[in-house]
Amino acid sequence: MSALIARQAPSAAERLADLAVQALVDEADLSPKPGLVDRRGSGAHSDLHLGLMHASAQSLWPAFAAMADAARREGRVSQALRETLGQLGRDGEAEMLRVTAGVNTHRGAIWALGLLSAAAMLESGASAGEIAASAAALARLDDPAAPHNPDSHGARVCRRYGVLGAREQAQHGFPAVIEHGLPQLLASRHAGAGEQNARLDALLAIMSSLTDTCVLHRAGLEGLTRMQAGARAVLEAGGAASLAGRRQLRLLDRDMLALNASPGGAADLLAATLFLDRLAPHALAPTGSY
């Protein structure tokens, strides 16, 4: 008799990890993204490619599941949960670096999606804004075990230019996602742009407002200004679904490559947008097919 593998319904934490990884894969695959890795190629990066982004995304499933499960066990925002998430986030980063042989593919995404996965478990069935607010409450708690790295790219450019980076984006409740990415995604879908164009528009809306420390690190204030203005120009021309918008998008892509700039922070926040968008209240039901 052939062995039977028992089929068990995935837990809520496992389903949240599925959604987080899917959001990262969807972000990586979305094309054409200015300066970023996509289906066309490596963008402004010499050490990244699409296969590596996929492998990195898959490697993070256990970390996201563990973060959501820790939230399920704790049941509320607390100092203990913050410290557990910090350790799980660092373990996730170590696994990502092992799989990519030391290349930073998703550091910012682990931070954003880790906090949001935990918050989604705490706030099951809540709105995107409520989940982001709960993630912000977690991000505002100090993690005494976190190694202070004043030399991270983000820390360096935040000091140099006096801007706010990934930490503050989370602590303020992900305004780039809640006020820009999600509303644009819904508006472009509603206008009939088609799913891929709506996602590109959401990315552009995030880019038009974000102080992306990846762009600042590689291309300074001029690069950041050109990224924001170029993204706004695409949307003002009619977005990715329009011919005029596509022309502007090609110019922006060319500009980002000429500046060696890549909006990695905006890409992470697009993944956070897609995660929250997919998180319909029924997604956590035991038999849920999102």
Ligand X SMILES: Nc1ncnc2[nH]cnc12
Task: List interacting residues with ligand LTSJ6FE6 (CB under 6 A).
Answer: 45, 85-86, 89-90, 104-111, 114-115, 143, 146, 149, 152-155, 165-167, 169, 210-214, 217-218, 264-265, 268-269
User: Other C-beta atoms within 10 Å of 95: how many?
Assistant: 17
- Please confirm whether the linkage preceding 32 is cis (ω < 30° from 0): yes
**How far apart, in whole angstroms, are the C-alpha atoms of residue 143 and residue 171?**
13
Name the phi and psi angles at 225, rounded to 5: -60, -40
Choose the one of ligand LTSJ6FE6, ligand X, none that binds residue 211, judging by a C-beta under 5 to 8 angstroms depending on kind: ligand LTSJ6FE6
Beta bridge partners of 41: 38
For position 48 contacting ligand X by CB under 6 A, the verdict is: yes
Output b/e per residue, 146-161; b: 16+ Cβ within 10 A.
eeeeeebbbebbbeee
Distances (CA, A) of 205 to 87, 210, 227, 235, 280: 32, 9, 11, 8, 22
- Give least dist CB 28 to ligand LTSJ6FE6, A: 11
Using CB under 6 A as the criterion, what x/- string covers residues 96-125 for binding ligand X?
----------x--x----------------
**How far apart, in whole angstroms, are the C-alpha atoms of residue 220 and residue 24?**
26
Percent helix / strand / coil, the chain, rounded to 5: 65, 0, 30
**How far apart, in whole angstroms, are the C-alpha atoms of residue 26 and residue 2?**
37
Binding ligand X (rule: CB under 6 A), the pick from 60, 132, 267, 272 is 267
Residue 69 or 230: the one with the smaller Cβ distance to ligand X is 230
- Give least dist CB 223 to ligand X, A: 15
- Give least dist CB 247 to ligand LTSJ6FE6, A: 27
Beta bridge partners of 38: 41
C-alpha closest to that of 284 among 113, 123, 84, 57: 123
Residue 15 or 106: the one with the smaller Cβ distance to ligand LTSJ6FE6 is 106
Choose the one of ligand X, ligand LTSJ6FE6, none that binds residue 28, judging by a C-beta under 5 to 8 angstroms depending on kind: ligand X
Using CB under 6 A as the criterion, what x/- string covers residues 2-41 for binding ligand X?
-------------------------xx-------xx----
When CB distances to ligand LTSJ6FE6 are compared, the closest residue is: 154
Residue 96 or 193: the one with the smaller Cβ distance to ligand LTSJ6FE6 is 96
Choose the one of ligand X, ligand LTSJ6FE6, none that binds residue 269, judging by a C-beta under 5 to 8 angstroms depending on kind: ligand LTSJ6FE6
Instruction: Evaluate whether 199 touches 185 at the Cβ level (below 8 Å).
Output: yes
Q: Which amino acid is at 169?
A: Q
Choose the one of ligand X, ligand LTSJ6FE6, none that binds residue 154, judging by a C-beta under 5 to 8 angstroms depending on kind: ligand LTSJ6FE6
Site of interaction with ligand X (CB under 6 A): 27-28, 36-37, 43, 45, 48, 53, 106, 109, 262, 264, 267-268
